[in-house]
Structure 1
């Protein structure tokens, strides 16, 4: 076995496609990963909400508002910051609606998703900061699951690397005409022909691992410090943006730049600073919210809360 073959066997292969068809129905890996992430976030968030003294099912009721708002916000952020992909000479503006092809900006998803969550919390009569604390680790875990969709789409990768965990990226072609290159999620990697820069840094994988570590940090700090009033959520935001900052510096895919840096690098820096300030300032609001403040009028706790210790158990 020659050295070139040894290096190839040590790398991570990419899937040959991101879309399968069940008859006329397309099954898109990116969409499945987003849906799976949403399910994880709701399930974990509801579990934490009950442990804090809230009513079972409240997170699901609020998700009915937060999830659609978040998806719209994520897509709007992507289209606005990467408008050159959809508007201008030779572009197809209708593709701005093709959310299944990838392209959800987490900043827009969180911002507009928070608006939806605020509406839901108002309708249920529960405090938004407390709800944010309950769902924080679930959100960042959902982001980790969503990054698997980028793997199937062959996107969000870095520069060429010779490290053992380098990601092989392949030339994809039109399924109906293998002679026409098509790097979209609908293309197929006939022959598994590596692109010029392959193998590359799997930055989507770096972020996936980082997100899981942030989720673990939030759970640990929440147990030890009994975080309340939005501080667990602020810790998630600070932790996530810290990782996103250095990961953005590694990425080489096309992106909008400001003063030589990717726009998401600047946003990560600014949001990190805001999250740290909030985390420190919110400490003055006192201990974590009491369980009775987390229930709508007339609601009863889903299960008895024996003590503050058991209510914190994950």
Structure 2
């Protein structure tokens, strides 16, 4: 007997009011599901998904996962329930509460249930898979404690201080040996560390398109491979390895292939959330430009107002309400329509359609005030040269004259 060891619980079932059985194995499974849903919901909302989506998908995933997990266990360990020397009755294959849920079957059929739910809601399966992957593996870490209460799936004999005490009447025990490797604890700690690592990796590298889920499968199989090698419970062996070890190898390879394959995926992953339209958005019919930014509004002349025509090298005097002439090859030269402030300030004469390379200047004629003579000023062209002054005749009757 080692100096230190982990004692096993004396019982794994309690009866409420002496009638209703409360099984530790089932409680661990339920608690794991709750934790997985909570983590998944938080991550889904952070991704922009609609709240409550993961809860709805769990309605599909949990029953599918339980059936798949039990089917995998019964199929791979059929000798425990069928045959002349089976230690259990065939009906006990349905007794899920006695333990025996294969994670591979649970993940496979659980994923099928999630696929049905995603299809009904029109959301991306890969986005959901990446979201729930950390929660799933943390749920596995919690669920493994059900094996502790059932005193099952322990490892080889050991004298280590953390050796697990197992009752001598349990299947797989060795006569005269009291402590064994606590494989449930090894896997629980591995799963918890993997779940936290997936959360960090997903945030650090912004992995999408099912790549976080692929890392979950690969990471879990690595730990499961060496932990499975410590176990002494009955299992099928192929070429010296347990069946679950071969399954781990196949799943690991498949996960890595998918992780590499999805590295260049860029297609959208709908999460079912519709962003609310904002003011000025083209999605809103009849939306106007932001009043605080009048420059965002297009300067479109009213129908029937002055339209510049190409009539050769002419000087066009712009009158209030008329559109300025614009060279189509230089749309940036277009001026905004004159407003009331421009009418008060006076009339701006603009040279239009001058031959290329000829500097331009603009003469601004300001209206006379109190019978004083009108003042004219010459504005130099962009190259700094001055051109012969061009004067505009007086504006009469709201019409503009061309010279």
The normalised TM-score by structure 1 is 0.83
Aligned partner of residue 20 in structure 1, secondary structure: strand
Q: Is the 8 A contact 2:8 2:151 kept in 1?
A: yes
Residue in 1 that maps onto 2:163: 166
Distance 1:16 1:121, change over 3 A: same
**Separation of aligned partners in 1, 2:22 and 2:241:** 35
- What does the per-residue CA deviation read over 1:6-44, in whole Å, with 9 as the maximum and x for residues that have no partner? x34x11000011111121111110000000000011110
- What does the per-residue CA deviation read over 1:226-251, in whole Å, with 9 as the maximum and x for residues that have no partner? 01000000011100001000111111
- What does the per-residue CA deviation read over 1:33-69, in whole Å, with 9 as the maximum and x for residues that have no partner? 0000000111101110110010110001111111100
**Separation of aligned partners in 2, 1:75 and 1:247:** 21
Q: Determine which structure has more spread, i.e. the larger CA radius of gyration.
A: 2
Moved more, 18-27 or 70-79: 18-27
Higher relative contact order (CA 8 A, sep 6+): 1
Residue in 1 that maps onto 2:147: 150
Q: Is the 8 A contact 2:168 2:178 kept in 1?
A: no
1:300 CA drift (Å): 5.9
**Separation of aligned partners in 1, 2:222 and 2:238:** 19
Correspondence 1:113 to 2:110: yes
**Separation of aligned partners in 2, 1:278 and 1:170:** 44
Q: Is the 8 A contact 1:66 1:116 kept in 2?
A: yes
**Separation of aligned partners in 1, 2:148 and 2:260:** 36
Correspondence 1:295 to 2:292: no
Structure 2 residue aligned with 1:18, among 12, 22, 28? 12
Structure 1 runs of 4+ aligned residues shifted over 6 Å read none
Residue in 2 that maps onto 1:136: 133
- What does the per-residue CA deviation read over 1:173-195, in whole Å, with 9 as the maximum and x for residues that have no partner? xxxxxxxxxx49xxxxxxxxx96
Moved more, 33-42 or 249-258: 249-258
Distance 1:164 1:94, change over 3 A: same
Q: Is the 8 A contact 2:41 2:53 kept in 1?
A: yes
Unaligned runs of 5+ in 2: 277-403
Superposed counterparts of 1:1-314, under 5 Å: 4=1, 7-8=2-3, 10-22=4-16, 23-91=18-86, 92-171=89-168, 183=170, 196-286=176-266, 289=268, 293-295=270-272
Q: Is the 8 A contact 1:17 1:152 kept in 2?
A: yes
Q: Is the 8 A contact 1:55 1:300 kept in 2?
A: no
**Separation of aligned partners in 1, 2:175 and 2:7:** 12
Aligned partner of residue 14 in structure 2, secondary structure: strand
Aligned partner of residue 160 in structure 1, secondary structure: coil
Q: Is the 8 A contact 1:241 1:271 kept in 2?
A: yes
The normalised TM-score by structure 2 is 0.65
**Separation of aligned partners in 2, 1:57 and 1:142:** 19
